[in-house]
Structure formats: structure tokens, C-alpha cells
Chains A and B, each alone.
Chain A
Amino acid sequence: MSAPADAIGTEPKIELRGLKKAFGAKTVLDGIDLSVGEGESVVIIGGSGTGKSVMLKCILGLLWPDAGSICIDGMDVSALADRTRQTHTAKIGMLFQGSALFDSLTVWENVAFALRSRTAMSRSEAREIALGKLAQVGLGPDVADLSPAELSGGMQRRVALARAIATDPEIVFFDEPTAGLDPILGDIINRLIVDCVRHVGATAVSITHDMTSARKIADRIAMLHDGRIIWDGPAGDIDSSGNAFVDQFIHGRAEGPIGMAVRR
């Protein structure tokens, strides 16, 4: 018996079930359930230190979850050994919160890193592709041979973004993509993420505090609080969520249920 064709299309690209992670006595993720469909753009919002980055790192296999399952394309990767797992996580491009550029390499070598590590591509060919990706994030060929330390924070951010999408991955994680960028550059990055999803067909999970950016790039928004997803819905419904936590967060109010939780 073969599965009906539409069932394949509706299988979630990423599915988290009961994901838990604690550091020592401190529980950060306390049972996350989240599924992301193919070609969908999901934005995770939530206060600083609620474990958004930890969640992405668990999916990438950089941190080991304490419990729960992580399925990518229907395959539970949390149970796999390191090397087999790599073949699944290689589908994912990651923009780290701190950019994490290699400071021993030049800008273009950073962008072309995965091209060179995964394929036997020649230096000149990889450089061509890297220059193209840099152009997409608004950087000219003049920065290609600089070292990342010679760039401003906003330029480093964009180089890191170019590196994350350099191999045209099926899944892309953006950890605070617009943090530290001016509003205009922020909008260029938002468009780039939308482009990735709409035109390239990638599945995107982004973390952001910037609600303008969230509204632009999200198909769906999920809010993480106290180790759980407390609200999850279409981006259009965010203003009428009826959830006091979400309302407080998107309006940036100091008073509300989240503030109470902090004071207690």
C-alpha cells in the first residue's frame, strides 16, 4: 500500500514532541511541541533567555535534549548516532545569534565554507558563488577579501546570513537576523528571508524580538514562555490572540503576566 500523494506533502518538515532540556538544576525547555510544514516560515518569539536559541541548537544536534523527539522529514534524528545525524542536519543552514564567523578566514572563505567542505568545488568556483551570495545581502566584492574582524557588526551579520544560505539549504534557521541592523538593512534582510521561503522553497524558522520583522516574514508565529510554546497561530491572528502573554510581548509593555512572573 502506498501512501496517498497529498499525505507526503502534509508531512511536517520539522516536528518536535515533548522536547526537554535542562542545564543542571535549571530547566530551560520543558516539553516543546512544534511542527513546521515544508516551505513554511515560522517565527518564534519570546523573552530573552527563554531558550529559543537552545531549541534551535537541539534540533541542529549541537546540544543533546534530555527527553522528547526531533523529527526531520519524518526521521527521528535525536536517536541517531553523530555521523548519521550529520547527513540530516546538513539540510539545515544556521545563522547564529552572535554571527560566529571564522576569524581565521576571509569573508568569502567564510561564505564558501560549506560549499568547499561538502563538495570538491574549486576555489574560484566557490568564490564566484560566495560573491553572488554576498551581493544578495547587499555586500560588494570589495569586502570579500577582508577579514571578518575588519567589518562592522551589521556587515558581519550579513556575511553570516550569506554563509547560512550559501548552499541553498532546504531548512534555514535565523537566530535574531535583524538584531543590530538599521531599519532599512533590516528590511533588506526580511525580504531576503521571504525570498528564501517563497521563491527558493526553503523552510524557515526564525527567532526575533522585532515585531515588524516578525510580521513581515512569518506565516505562523509561536511564542515560547517558561519552557513551553504557549501560543501558536497564523501571523495574521497575532493581534487577536486573546493571550495575555502574547499581547504584552507584542506591545512591549512592562506590565502584564510576564512581568509578574519575573518579579515573583
Chain B
Amino acid sequence: MNFLAPIGRVFIAFLVATGRLVAFAAVSVSHCVRPPFYGRSIGRQMIQIGYFSLPVVGLTAIFTGMVLALQSYTGFARLNAESAIATVVVLSMTRELGPVLAGLMVAGRVGAAIAAEVGTMRVTEQIDALTTLSTNPYKYLIVPRLIAGVATLPLLVLVADIIGVFGGYAVSVHSLDFNAANYLKLTWEFLQPIDIVTGLVKAAVFGFLVTLMGCYHGFHSRGGAQGVGAAATNAVVSSSVLILASNYMLTLAFFGA
């Protein structure tokens, strides 16, 4: 029976970690709706998370849109179905690639930065200092980041959608000899509001996950510089995995059988 013990230990450790994360998320969210609110911090985080992520998200989106057009052309040309390219590009961008790629890029850029900043504050006792100065660290540090993540990621994804579709358009019109007006007409033809809305809902969820994991790992980091480094890595890895997993669940919920 002894070989079951390690399995049980791993399972219990997993349950404990999950429980801690859920408890952390619940406390953080409950502080989101109770005053005091730190408006300036929220604004600063929105600029940090949203505005400064624009270049990297924009670049990712334009290249993805371009490559989508190229690849679907090589496939659809054989079937004489080139007219489907515009639809493939716009639906893939708005439904899946826009939110997922923006989420992953923000996880790498912002998740790591949040974990490193909050983690450094933890190991240098700044979080303890906040408490002794009558300031709740959840409200002061965590809440502004969560709110900024949930609020700005949908905006980023909207921008990514537009830039990605433009990338596909540019490649189709300039390299694949599409008629510009015709391509745009095809783009709009099968696009439903629901495609965009589900993408934006996904983005809000991913924004929550990225900032939550950054805050969680930073808040519980220990052991100096090494601990902060580990927190940053764990934040990126865990939020990336959570983004991909929750993306599947959300797709299933929105479009599933």
C-alpha cells in the first residue's frame, strides 16, 4: 500500500495549493467592491498593463493576421475557395487568436512584472509596512491590478482584432491579388456581434487570471531575490496554462455542442 502514499501527498499538496489560490481570489474580489478605492493606483495600473502592452500585442496581431491569410490561401486555393480567406481571418482573430495571443503576451509582460514587484515588496517587508500604516495591502496592491487587468485586456483585444484583420487584408490585397473592396465585404459578411463579444469576454477573464496569478505568486513569495525570480516564473507559467485551459472551457460554453 506504500506506493499510494506519494500519490496521496501530491494530491493533497495540489488541493492545498488550489484552496489557497481560491481563498486568495475570494478575498481579493471581496475587497474590489468595498471602499476605500485607490483611483490613482487603478489609473496607473491601467497605463502599465494596457497602454504599454499595445506595441507587443499589436505586433503579435499583425503578424498573426498576415500568416493566417497566407496559410489559408495555400489551403483554400486548391479547393478554389479563396473567398473563404477573409472569413477565416476575421473569425479566427476575433474568436480565438486575438484573446489568446493578447492574453499570453500580457501574461509574459505584465504577469511577470506584477509578480516581481509585489514579490519584492513582500521580501523587503513593504507589505508588512503597509499593514502597520493602516493600509490594507489587498486594497492598495491587488485590487488596482485586478481591476486594471479586467478592464484593459478587452480593449487590447479589440485593438488586436482590428490590427489582425488589417494584417490579413494587407497580405491578401498586396500579395494574393484580392480586390480590396471585395475582401472587406467578405470580412463583414459572416462576422456576427457574438464573435466579437465572446472574444472580449474571454479577454476579461484572461485579464483577471494574469493579474491574479501575478499578485498571488508575488504576495506569497519568500526567500529574497531567488524567491522573487521563482514567483515571476510561476506567475507566467501558471497564467499561460490557465489561459489556454479556460479558453477551451469558454469556447465550449459559447459555441459548444
A interface residues (Cβ-Cβ under 8 A, vs B): 57, 60-62, 86, 89-90, 92-94, 96-98, 100-103, 113-114, 117-118, 163
A86 to B133, CA, bound (A): 10
Q: By DSSP majority rule, is chain B's interface helix, strand, loop, or mixed? A: helix
Cβ contact within 8 Å between B133 and A114: yes
Are the CB atoms of B134 and A96 closer together than 8 Å? no
Q: Would you call A114 and B128 a contact (CB within 8 A)?
A: no
3 A-B pairs with the lowest CB-CB distances in the bound complex, closest first: A100-B125, A100-B129, A114-B133
8 CB contacts below 8 A, A to B, read A60-B128, A62-B128, A86-B134, A89-B132, A96-B128, A102-B126, A102-B130, A117-B133
Q: In the assembled complex, which residues on chain B have CB atoms less than 8 Å from the CB atom of A62?
A: 128, 131-132
> Which residues on A sit within 8 Å (CB–CB) of B126?
100-103
Q: Smallest CB-CB separation from A166: which chain B residue?
A: B133
For A117, the chain B residues whose CB sits under 8 A away are 133-135
B134 with A90: CB separation less than 8 A? yes
Q: CA A262 – CA B91 in complex, angstroms? A: 70
Q: How far is the CB of A206 from chain B (nearest CB, A)?
A: 16
Find residues 117-141 in chain B having any chain A CB closer than 8 Å to their own CB.
121, 124-126, 128-135
CB of A171, distance to nearest CB on chain B (Å): 11
Q: How far is the CB of B60 from chain A (nearest CB, A)?
A: 29
In the bound complex, CA of A89 to CA of B135 (Å): 12
- Tell whether, in the assembled complex, residue A118 and residue B134 are in contact, meaning their CB atoms are under 8 Å apart: yes
Docked-complex contact A94 and B135, CB < 8 angstroms: no
> Taking the nearest CB of chain B, how far is it from the CB of A239, in angstroms?
34
- Assess whether A60 is in contact with B132, with CB atoms less than 8 Å apart: yes
Which residues in B have their C-beta under 8 angstroms from that of A101? 126, 129
Which residues from chain A contact B128 at a C-beta distance below 8 Å? 57, 60, 62, 96, 100
Closest to A118 in B: B134
Closest Cβ–Cβ distance, residue A161 to chain B (whole Å)? 13
Which B residues touch A118, using CB under 8 A? 134
